[in-house]
Amino acid sequence: MAAVLFGIAAFATTTRTWLNVQLPATAVQTPDLAVSGSDAATAVTAFAVVAITAGLAASIAGSVARWIVSVILVVSGIGVAAASWTVISDPAQGAAGAIGQAIGVSGAAGTVVTLTGMPWAALVSGVLIALTGVWLAVASRSWKSSRRYAPAPAAGTAPSAAPGAESMTPGAGSPDAGNNGEGPEPVDDIDSWDRLTRGDDPTNYR
């Protein structure tokens, strides 16, 4: 759940403004640009979606799959943090695409690019996503795997006789003896499913 929440947080930052760009007044009629995170750091959106998906998968994954999910979360978190840091360390490069669309070139003299708090929020979210991956790898070692039920004879019935035993001693040692050949009475719902899997009618035991 923590991985999902941090992934959503990282994704949410990309819908907000990361960079405010003030272009030279002589270059365009509207000199101010607002660059969203999805434009400034496209990789953050992709890594955030991967982290959300991996976080959801962790709840149903087996012991081996959880290790794979942990690695995916760590890589996704590092990817989010690295892409965010790239924009933080060089805002002008992050805004180059938006500036190019506005004035036809990626840079112009007098252009001022300022950061908002969203890149930092994405950076923190990325670090937290990576930490949840490490946390999952450590904590999930004590998680119990989902139970798998195998068909088992009903309580009070004898084990199946060896091949040919029924022909030698009719009615003796047979698990169905004493209930008119309708099979052992199911103990619970799982037993009923097992009978249905074998092709028996789970309701026909009275």
Of the pLDDT bands very low, low, confident and very high (cuts 50, 70, 90), residue 147 is very low
Three-class SS state of 82? helix
pLDDT value at residue 141: 72
For the chain, the residue count is 206
Range with the poorest average pLDDT among 76-80, 84-88, 195-199:
195-199
* Phi and psi based region of residue 180 (left: phi greater than 0; alpha: psi -120 to 50; beta: remaining): left
Rg (CA), the chain: 31
155 or 65: which carries more pLDDT confidence?
65
Q: Average pLDDT, stretch 76-98?
A: 89
- Outline where DSSP puts E strands in the chain: 17-22, 32-36, 112-115
| Region of poorest pLDDT, from 38-42, 155-159, 165-169 | 165-169
Taking all residues of the chain, what is their mean pLDDT, rounded to a whole number? 76
pLDDT at 170: 46
Nearest to 91 by CA among 28, 12, 21, 11: 21
Q: How confident is the model at residue 98 (pLDDT cuts 50, 70, 90)?
A: confident
Q: What is the mean pLDDT of residues 128-142?
A: 87
6-49 pLDDT, tens digit per residue, is 999 999 999 999 988 887 766 556 667 888 888 888 899 999 99
Answer yes or no: is pLDDT of 109 > 50: yes
The better pLDDT of the pair 197, 39 is held by 39
Q: What pLDDT sits at residue 195?
A: 74
User: What is the predicted pLDDT for the residue at 178?
Assistant: 44
108-to-18, 43, 44 alpha-carbon distances in Å: 20, 26, 27
Q: What pLDDT sits at residue 52?
A: 93
pLDDT value of position 6? 94
φ, ψ dihedrals at 35, nearest 5°: -100, 120
> Taking Cα atoms as reference points, which of 6, 116, 16, 135 lies closest to residue 70?
135
What pLDDT shows up at residue 119? Answer: 93
- The residue that leads in pLDDT, 201 or 185, is 201
Residue 122 has pLDDT above 90, yes or no: yes
Domains assigned to the chain: 2-142 (1.20.140), 149-206 (no CATH)
Residue 183 near residue 195 (C-beta atoms within 8 A):
yes
